[in-house]
Amino acid sequence: MLKPRHLLVVFLLALGFVITALVLAGNQTSEQGAGAPLFPKLLGRLNDVTRVTISAAGKSFNIENSELGWHIPLQDNYRADANKMHKLLVGLSGLKRIEAKTRKPSLYQAIGVRDPAAGVPNSKAITLSDKAGTPLLRLIVGLNRPARADPSSEEYYVRRVGDPQSWLVEGVLPQVGSHVSDWLDKKIVMIDASRLQQTVVTHADGEVVTAYREAPKDRNFSYRELPEGRQLADEWRMNDLGRFIADLDSQGVYAKANAPAADAMLEVQSQTFDGLLIKLRASQAKDQGVYVELAAAYDGQLANTGNVFKDDNLKSADQVHAEVEQLNRRWQGWVYKLPKFKADYLRKRQADFLKKQPAN
């Protein structure tokens, strides 16, 4: 029979084994999370998401989905970047745990998972909600780095709102911008540059600069009515002007009634070989920002001229009519702010395209 002293030793040893087992079990739970989806049920509920809330530095804004598609109420309900929204939702559903990280609030700031409501940098919170306003996901996204195992993926430090446990996860998310402009559909217009025939810029004082091509096969644009005795400074400037409207993005967008007050600056008219006519009216505000309104039309005479050329990139009359309707639906009622480099290019005058004359 064991003496009481021996019984105490046995008890202490048994207790030690139990504590060790519990600790190991706790560690094993964390390790078993590796490779598992962070949100295993989210993929099946992506169609239920009607609102995405982005929070950063103590501020937040919503991106909502309705019959308008994805749009941003804070930006007069203008279109959000639908492709970016798709990547965000699919990306969140595909996040996989790598390993558990700190549970200590004092260490959250180091990996960017402190609550952004505190106004701290680096961390951003994403909330997905359904039609009833019920949150389906609330996640703080912190610092990220290229994935060690897969260079096409990223590793992110994350923490679910209200959960002290932070995680290192792997997946692919779009850049989670903290400003409304980061989520706007910035594309104003994109058309095949090979279709463009001519771009005419008419400044407020009446000065006109025209870049044109005779045929779609012409590689470079020329200066129409080049002043006698003058030469182009270089071809690329004319080419940039001729293709100005081909790929145009915005820096910001406003409902016409809410656009900043601005003074008329110039007008741009671009036309294609197949009859598309785009008119752009630019104004300059007190902050030197350039704001533009656009409208599209079909010009049958231009289309007839274009029919002389057999070019696979040119569109039929029906296609151009449909394009005009689509563009006008997109632009009607909106004013776009141009990026500075585009605005500066519009400000160029005749002298900027010509070689300087030698001094007498």
> H or E segment at 64?
strand 59-66
Q: Is residue 3 one of the residues assigned to a domain?
A: no
Mean pLDDT, the chain, rounded, equals 87
- Does some domain include residue 346? yes
Q: Are 301 and 321 in contact (CB under 8 A)?
A: no
The model's pLDDT over 222-256, given as tens digits with 9 standing for 90+, comes to: 988 877 777 787 888 899 999 999 999 999 999 99
Q: What is the pLDDT of residues 187-230, one digit of tens each?
A: 999 999 999 999 999 999 999 999 999 999 899 999 888 777 77
CA distance 37 to 187: 34
Residue 220 in tokens: 């470079």
Residue 115 sits in the same domain as residue 138: yes
For residues 50 and 145, membership in a common domain is answered with yes
Three-state SS for 234?
A: coil
Q: Are 110 and 123 in contact (CB under 8 A)?
A: no
Is 34 part of any domain? no
Specify if 6 maps to a domain.
no
Residue 300 pLDDT more than 50? Answer: yes
pLDDT over 70, % of the chain: 88
Domain boundary among 182, 214, 233: 182
pLDDT band at 306 (very low <50, low <70, confident <90, very high): low
The parent domain of residue 263 ranges over 187-353
304 in the same domain as 214? yes
274, 224: one domain: yes
- Kindly state whether residue 35 falls inside one of the protein's structural domains: no
Note whether 176 and 237 are same-domain residues: no
Domain shared by 143 and 206, yes or no: no
Same domain, 241 and 308: yes
Statement to judge: residues 127 and 241 lie in one domain: no
Asked whether the predicted pLDDT for residue 359 surpasses 80, the reply is no
Rounded mean pLDDT, 37-63: 94
| Residue 293 and residue 196 share a domain | yes
| Residue 27: inside a domain | no
DSSP E strands in 147-234: the ranges are 154-160, 166-171, 187-190, 196-203, 208-212, 222-223
- Tokens representing 110 are 């180091």
Answer whether residue 241 is part of any domain.
yes
**Would you say residue 360 lies in a domain?**
no
**Both 197 and 328 in a single domain?**
yes
Mean pLDDT of 316-330: 95
Q: How many CB atoms lie within 10 A of CB 297?
A: 15
Do 42 and 127 form a contact (C-beta atoms < 8 A)? no
Q: Is the pLDDT of residue 165 over 70?
A: yes
Say what the pTM is.
0.80
Please, which contacts does 200-206 make with residues 24 or more away whose CB atoms are closer than 8 Å?
200/268, 200/269, 200/270, 201/241, 201/266, 201/267, 201/268, 201/346, 202/266, 202/267, 202/268, 202/269, 203/265, 203/266, 203/349, 204/264, 204/265, 204/266
pLDDT value for 3: 53
**Which pLDDT value is given to residue 305?**
66
Specify whether the backbone of 25 is left (phi greater than 0), alpha (psi in -120 to 50) or beta.
alpha
Q: Which of 127, 156, 182 represents a domain boundary (last residue)?
A: 182
Residue 269: is its pLDDT beyond 70?
yes
Spatial CB neighbours of 295, under 8 Å, sequence gap ≥ 6: 278, 279, 328, 331
> What does DSSP say about strands 135-146 and 196-203: parallel, antiparallel, or unpaired?
unpaired
Q: Are residues 239 and 295 in the same domain?
A: yes
CA atoms of 121 and 142, how far apart (whole Å): 9
| Site of tokens 């909502």 | 64
106-143 tens-digit pLDDT = 999 999 999 998 777 778 999 999 999 999 999 999 99
Report the C-alpha gap between 165 and 44 in whole angstroms.
25
In this structure, are residues 281 and 264 in contact, taking their beta carbons and an 8 Å threshold?
yes
Claim to verify: residue 281 and residue 345 sit in the same structural domain: yes
**Number of structural domains in the chain:** 2
Cα separation, 178 vs 61, in Å, equals: 9
pLDDT of residue 235: 84
Whether 26 has a pLDDT exceeding 60, the answer reads no
Q: Single out the residue in 129, 153, 182 at which a domain terminates.
A: 182
